[in-house]
A and B are shown apart, each in its own frame.
Chain A
Amino acid sequence: MRSLEVYEVFKREREGGPMIHAGNLLAPDPELASHYAREFYGRRQESIRLWIVPRAAIRELDDPDLLQPPFDRSFKKPAGYSTEIKRKLAEARGRVDGRVEGEPEEVEAG
């Protein structure tokens, strides 16, 4: 068998669902890649759509300087932000319940 290429296969399992990575396969040309994708990821009626992509066409990014920078990035995350708000609220409640002197009343009202 002459030059085989790796193809990555993505599948959609139900209408409205996302395309998820199913796996990969080897094939000598794009047409047979489609046939084999059907065999591997569709013959048990587990998919309603497949994407068959030559691995060579995929741009890869795995540089840690770009993806895992060293400083705290929690302020860039929506979850991190809300956690901070929750922490401040809890602190304010604690101060009111504990009759902490000199704290303004409005904090509780918020």
Chain B
Amino acid sequence: MTAVMAEALDRGTREALAGLLLAMADDEFVLGFWDSEWTGIAPLLEEDVAQSSIAQDEIGHAQALYQLLAEVIGGDADRIAFGREPAAYRHARLLDHARTDWAFSIARRFLYDTADAARLDLLVACAWPPLAGVVAKMRREETYHLLHMHTWLERLASGGDDARGRLAAALERLWPDALTVLAPLPGEELLVAAGILAEPMAAAEQRWLASLRPIFTRLELPFPFIQLEGERLETTLAVPAEPRDGHDGSDSFRWLWGEFTMVYRSDPEAVW
């Protein structure tokens, strides 16, 4: 694949690239803040450190992606990250849920991390070198995140009735919104044509579900999909019509937004 320069892209493709970067950055940013809510109250000190460190990694990924976005659309990465109203965020609806209990946070992070891994796979050979570079680094850090989440999923699934029950209930509640992470993005066909994205998001979603199926089957956890003709996995769940819009309608997200923009809003012009 020949390398492309962002400024050489036509307007539609640039907009689609900006949309992809914003979606990915907001996902990492919002999840990072949700999981940092566990700092100080995780089940044991060691896990507290682990969970907080993983949450920090996600904020780091968001920072790198906002930086790339600033290169494409101009402006300042911090302003993009902190200077928007809740309605302007483009994270997946999966990330509108509050932290809730430990099993819920693990279930959400497991679903997100595995879906995100499938998305990153589409960007390994990205024709825009800056994004390929950031993705390569993200994938190395995600190796540990995935390992940690698989361990916790197994642990809760094979724990007592309480742990298992909470995990299963969380998954039931999260599955419809989990499908928003790899929902098609506006203009993604332009990104595929430009070699920025290897395939449409739907291809990543199928691979993601296929990879989860044996795990959920073995652990007897909720997996609300059926296999139609061929290999395709389909769901009867009502997936949200606006996978990445309308976050001003979420009380949980509005609260989180208030927390993570509090310092920035106190003086947006401050120099740190």
The answer to whether A and B interact is yes
- Of all chain B residues, the one with the shortest Cβ separation from A32 is B151
Instruction: Collect the chain A residues with CB atoms within 8 Å of residue B151's CB.
Output: 31-32, 35
**Cβ B45 vs Cβ A26 within 8 A:** yes
A1 located at the interface, meaning its Cβ lies under 8 Å from any Cβ of chain B in the complex: yes
Q: Which residues on the A side are within 8 Å of B53 (C-beta)?
A: 39, 43
Contact of B50 among A26, A28, A31, A35 (CB under 8 A): A35
Set of chain B residues within 8 Å of A40, measured between Cβ atoms: 46, 49
Interface contact A36-B147, CB-CB below 8 Å: no
Q: Is the CB of A39 within 8 A of B50?
A: yes
Contact B43 A35 (CB under 8 A): no
Interface size on B, residues (CB 8 A): 13
Interface residues of A in 22-43 (CB under 8 A from B): 25-29, 31-32, 35-36, 38-40, 43
Please report whether the interface of chain B is mostly helix, strand, loop or mixed according to DSSP: helix
Q: Which chain A residues lie closer than 8 Å to B43 at the CB level? A: 1
- A4 interface hit (Cβ, 8 Å): yes
A73 shortest CB reach to chain B, Å = 42
Given contacts A1-B43, A1-B44, A4-B44, contact A35 B49 (CB under 8 A): no
Q: How far, in whole Å, are A28 and B151 apart by their CA atoms in the complex?
A: 12
Report B232 CB to chain A, min CB distance, Å.
34
The 7 A-B pairs at the shortest CB distance, nearest first, are namely A36-B46, A39-B50, A39-B49, A25-B46, A31-B151, A35-B148, A39-B53
Known A1-B43, A4-B44, A40-B49; further 20 A-B contacts with Cβ < 8 A? A1-B44, A26-B44, A26-B46, A28-B44, A28-B155, A29-B155, A32-B46, A32-B47, A32-B151, A32-B155, A35-B50, A35-B147, A35-B151, A36-B46, A36-B47, A39-B49, A39-B50, A39-B53, A40-B46, A43-B53
